[in-house]
């Protein structure tokens, strides 16, 4: 018996199969034959759908947007760090510890 190559199912197909399993109009064996998928796989997809269904209706707090970034403070920090780097590279160059002090 030859093995079938691994298949990757789309999320839409998984949802379709899981919803058919939840409806309960057909048995798992019938669904497995209809969609050409193993019954254990159908059970896994049904479980995943039922566990993730609460997220669809927003039972939890809404996901927070990206935190507000203060551009002025970031530019100030960049300037401060650039000043420190320039000072340290000059000091190391004068001390002879940095071979290329000039840019």
Q: Model's pTM, two decimal places?
A: 0.53
Q: What is the pLDDT of residues 60-84, one digit of tens each?
A: 555 566 778 889 999 999 999 999 9
Average pLDDT of the segment spanning 85-89 = 92
* Residue 23 burial (C-beta neighbours within 10 Å; 0-12, 13-18, 19+): exposed
Run of H or E residues at 84:
helix 71-95
Contacting residues for 73 by C-beta, under 8 A, at least 6 apart: none
The tokens for 57 are 């209706």
Within 10 angstroms of residue 18's Cβ, the number of other Cβ atoms is: 20
């Amino acid at each position: 018996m030859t093995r079938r190559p691994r298949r990757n199912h789309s999320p839409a197909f998984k949802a379709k199969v899981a919803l058919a399993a939840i409806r309960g109009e057909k048995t798992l064996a019938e669904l497995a034959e209809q969609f050409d998928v193993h019954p254990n796989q159908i059970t896994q997809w049904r479980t995943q759908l039922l566990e993730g269904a609460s997220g669809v209706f927003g039972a939890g707090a809404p996901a927070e947007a990206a935190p507000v970034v203060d551009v002025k403070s970031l530019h100030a920090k960049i300037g401060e760090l650039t000043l420190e780097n320039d000072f340290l590279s000059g000091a190391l160059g004068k001390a002879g510890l940095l071979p290329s002090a000039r840019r």
